[in-house]
């Protein structure tokens, strides 16, 4: 791990939801919280777009696989 990277799980056991809220509230301003939320939304948008592409292509790959097996099995 890079020297300047922060490990969010370092020294942490399983925390309750209330403990996580307290951990993320400490030392953060509303601006920092808003920035974190914006980064999360952009990341989720990226993965949602990728999943949508996968869902659109899945039937195509299924059909190609079925037709390949059908014609090779003759």
pLDDT (0 to 100) of residue 1: 43
Of the CA atoms within 13 Å of residue 51, those in its CB half-sphere come to: 6
pLDDT along the chain (74 residues), means of 10: 52 70 71 79 86 91 95 86
Dihedral pair phi/psi, residue 12, rounded to 5°: -110, 135
pLDDT (0 to 100) of residue 3: 53
Asked if residues 1 and 7 have their Cβ atoms less than 8 Å apart, the reply is: yes
pLDDT (0 to 100) of residue 27: 65
- The H-assigned helical ranges of 1-74 are 17-25, 30-72
């Amino acid at each position: 791990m890079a020297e300047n990277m922060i490990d969010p799980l370092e020294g942490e056991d399983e925390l309750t939801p209330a403990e996580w809220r307290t951990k993320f509230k400490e030392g953060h301003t509303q601006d920092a919280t808003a920035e974190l939320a914006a980064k999360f939304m952009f990341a989720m948008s990226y993965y949602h777009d990728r999943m949508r592409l996968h869902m659109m292509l899945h039937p195509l790959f299924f059909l190609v696989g079925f037709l390949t097996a059908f014609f090779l099995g003759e």
